[in-house]
Amino acid sequence: MTAESARAIAHYLLEVDAFGFRPDRPVRTPSGRATPVTLDAGPVIAHPRLRRRLVAAAVDRLAEACGVEAFDVVAGAELRGLPLAAWLADALALPMIYVRKQPKGFGRNAAIEGRLAEGARVLLVDDVATDGGSKLAFADSLRGAGGRVEHVLVVCAAAIWPERERALREAGLSLHALTTWPDLAVAARERAVLPADLLDEIDAYLSDPAGWEEGAAAPD
């Protein structure tokens, strides 16, 4: 994925108001970090042209990284990973399953909805990767059910916590993102969609997320 492609996706997300920045009401990531950056999947679902652009970019990204024949099944992460997983499974002519945040019932398939063959090569799909904690949990569930999980595809990655990206790699996961928070920040400045002071605060957060978090309001 080229820098130009990632920036183009960022511009498109901004155009449909899928990107949000709320320093007064930060949210908490799965690993407990406070972040003011949000990505709303609702506008993505509502805009067919954006949907087609994301699917095409995802197929291109996979072709570059590992090949589009590298998978037997696409797994959507509950809940926001399901739409993109469905569109991508259709584009790749592959079956789709989904993996729950919490197991339902008992047994090795308790977290899986759908049929997962032993040893099947699984592409895990979600909307956002912040600090990577939920991706590790989803991958563990899929592996526990017999799947081989080596690749995760997301619309947007934070790309500001190197230690978490190392944790994914150490867990045998390659993360593929169509765009990143820094790309969104640059696109937001280019489009002038936010006041200058908010744009400056975005840059301050991205350059020092831990320092920003120390002075942030309590997350929702």
Cβ atoms of 181 and 157 within 8 Å: the answer is yes
Nearest one of 63, 20, 26, 21 to 41, comparing CA atoms: 20
Q: CA of 133: how far to CAs of 31, 33, 85, 122, 168, in Å?
A: 6, 11, 19, 18, 9
Q: What is the architecture of the domain spanning 3-214? A: 3-Layer(aba) Sandwich (3.40)
- Per residue of the chain (220 residues), give pLDDT as tens: 677 889 999 999 999 988 888 888 888 887 788 888 888 877 888 899 999 999 999 999 999 999 999 999 999 999 889 999 999 999 999 999 999 988 877 667 788 999 999 999 999 999 999 888 889 999 999 999 999 999 999 999 999 988 888 899 999 999 999 999 999 999 998 988 888 888 888 888 999 988 888 877 666 6
Write down the domain spans for the chain. 3-214
Q: What is the pLDDT of residues 152-207, one digit of tens each?
A: 999 999 999 888 888 999 999 999 999 999 999 999 989 888 888 888 888 889 99
Q: Rounded distance, CA 149 to CA 140, Å? A: 9
Task: Quote the pLDDT of residue 71.
Answer: 98
Task: Quote the pLDDT of residue 125.
Answer: 97
